[in-house]
Amino acid sequence: MAAGPGGELRPPDRRRRHRIPAARHEGDGQGEAQPGRARGDRPPSCRRPRIRPAARRPRTRPRHARHPEEAVSNTNTVTGPNTAAPGTPSATAEPLTLRRVRLGAGGPLSDVRIESGLVKAVFPAGESPRADGQSLDLDGRTLLPGLWDSHVHMVQWAGLRRRLDVSGARSAREAADAAGRQAAALPAGEPMIGHGFRDGLWPDAPHKDLLDARVPDRPTLLISMDLHSAWLNSAGLALVGRGDHPTGLLREDECIQAMAQLPTASVELTDQWVQEACVAAAARGITGIVDFEYADNIADWTRRMNGAAVPLRVAASIWSPQLDAAISRGLRTGQTLDTPGGLLEVGPFKLLTDGSLNTRTALCHEAYPGAVPGEPGSHGLEQLPPEELVSLLRRASSHGIEPAIHAIGDRANEMTLDAFEEVRCHGRIEHGQLLAAKDIPRFAELGVTVSIQPTHAVDDRDVADRHWAGRTHRAYAFADLLAAGAVLALGSDAPVATLDPWLTMASAVTRTGDERPPWHPEQRIPVADALAGSSRGRRLIRVGDRADLVVTDADPLTADTRTLREMPVHATLLAGAWTHGPSS
């Protein structure tokens, strides 16, 4: 499936956009970063870091930082009044000094001072003056810019964490058997909802009769891993008003309509689940997400943030049903909305041009194997005619709302790039999974960010080998896009994949998610580029930056594959306030 602008929320100024230089892959040729430490690096201690009590502020000027990349106008202090509004994280967070922390991946040991939600000053380790507030010795751990997941569906992710997982089923029969066992344990009258099936490689087809045989009288619905298909039994079809459907397998719009008809948890319970999912995300170093949930996203997140302390920044997307209202309100992508902490931003405008690989509905130039060229569906599904796409892009962009267009097949991506070129607006393409060679340079040329989900490349490699045979050298072409100067934004597409930025980055760096060799290893990208694509393009921590930060026990640049994938996150800070770790 298919998210904020520029791969992050606030896209970079395209007039100043620079090409990302190609960098060599760290590692042994299998996409694995070499283990080890820089000379003089001290590994993190197993004991808890030492927290010093507050000290009186000295009457001396702080030293200038000596890390040249952090120098700002010959000084590493930020001056001026604190303009943070009362109640925001930056206004309420206690001043903090992080001591003996490695400044960025591969960076020097430093002391970092945080005040008013900003990085106030940076000093060589051991040379920071005594100051008010908390002082924390991080014992050589690594300090990185806070991480963003640029494409999630948060309500679905929060809900699916509690549903039957059938992702391990190797056939429709196995999935139906699992549904039957789960249904037997549910209270009477409660629908049985599962998720995660991948029928692209199954030897048998999903059919309502299979589910009816195991769950005859309870509404049952299984949602595919890519969210583009729903498989229902007869009772489930009746519940969603599709009792006459011949097979029970609903694709694309039919699937979305069916899911919208299902009984839902109360708003209060849903918000509780979302809050728990946000806390779990913060524990993995996430400080922000771009949420592409289908509902009135801005209204829902406004309610949540007014009701609880959400530990993330959120860019809430706009879908077609909300576009007119957003325009009439004067909303613009990147605009900060009036919520506690200023954590909610207007996200991009989401549109779908095609389907997905697993359902064979991604729109491609070549027909799918076994399909008759020219017959309906043989090349996938066009969800939006080109002229309508152009019209919607023009309307949204003319009002300051940047488009984020779902395009997976090469024909859908070409059509979407053509629309961006005609309208002459910036925005994003979500997924960009299969690209014609001639279209790869166009992302940089047109100033279009490509929002990628690297875990899909390793999860779908077998399906791609079957349905895109002979074309996979230009599928998930991350390295080629980087070399052509494209801006990459990394995300999970949760619940299609787990909301974990380290799994996402490891997939981009290694191109494998199991014990098999890397799939198309020539498309691996360096760890540094994966980090930049996961942190709104931030490659350095600079004085004056917002103190959205993550502390890791290992340096990603020297971590082996397993450590990178399972990266131990020691702490997360949002505007200088702990959301995970030492005193959260």
Q: What is the CATH number of the domain that holds 59?
A: 2.30.40.10
Last residue of a domain, one of 314, 346, 378: 346
Please check whether residues 402 and 548 belong to one and the same domain: no
Q: Is 303 among the domain residues? A: yes
Predicted local distance difference test score (pLDDT) of residue 201: 81
| Residue 312, in any domain of the structure | yes
Q: What is the pLDDT of residue 185?
A: 85
134 & 194 share domain:
no
Q: How many structural domains does the chain have?
A: 4
User: Which of 346, 345, 369 is CA-nearest to residue 357?
Assistant: 369
Q: Are residues 251 and 298 in the same domain?
A: no
In a domain, 30, yes or no: no
Question: Do 204 and 287 sit in the same domain of this protein?
Answer: no
In this structure, are 72 and 99 located in the same domain? yes
Same domain as 55, residue 118: yes
The confidence score (pLDDT) of residue 412 equals 99
Instruction: Count Cα neighbours of 252 within 13 Å in the Cβ-side half-sphere.
Output: 18
Structure tokens at 287: 């400080």
Q: Do 372 and 496 fall into the same domain?
A: yes
Q: In which residue ranges of the chain is pLDDT below 70?
A: 1-92, 263, 584
Provide the pLDDT for residue 145.
98
Which backbone phi and psi does 168 adopt, to 5 degrees? -85, -5
Q: Considering the domain boundaries, does residue 20 fall inside one?
A: no
Q: What is the CATH number of the domain that holds 449?
A: 3.20.20.140
| 13 domain-assigned | no
Q: What is the pLDDT of residue 92?
A: 60
pLDDT for 324 equals: 98
Asked if residue 18 is part of any domain, the answer here is no
89 and 228, same structural domain?
no
For residues 469 and 437, state if they share a domain: yes
Q: Which pLDDT score is estimated for 89?
A: 60
pLDDT at 211: 96
Both 240 and 300 in one domain: the answer is: no
Domain annotation covers residue 135: yes
Burial class for 173, CB neighbours closer than 10 Å (0-12, 13-18, 19+):
middle
The domain boundary residue, chosen from 346, 379, 406: 346
Same domain? For 331 and 199 the reply is no
Host domain of residue 235: 158-261
Sign of the Cα pseudo-torsion (119, 124, 125, 129, in order):
negative
DSSP reduced 3-state for 221: strand
What does the block give as tokens for 361? 């509905």
Q: What is the CATH number of the domain that holds 218?
A: 3.10.310.70
- Of 127, 140, 50, 143, the closest CA to residue 573 belongs to 143
- Which of these three, 242, 261, 280, is where a domain ends? 261
Let me know if residue 6 belongs to a domain. no
DSSP tag of 341:
G
- Looking at the fold, whether 85 and 223 belong to one and the same domain comes out as no
Kindly tell me the burial class for residue 207, based on how many C-beta atoms sit within 10 Å of its own C-beta (0-12, 13-18, 19 or more): middle
Which of 246, 258, 251 has its CA nearest to residue 219?
Answer: 258
DSSP 122-175: EEETT-PPP-SSEEEE-TT-EEEEPEEEEEE-HHHHHHHTTSEE-TT-SSHHHH
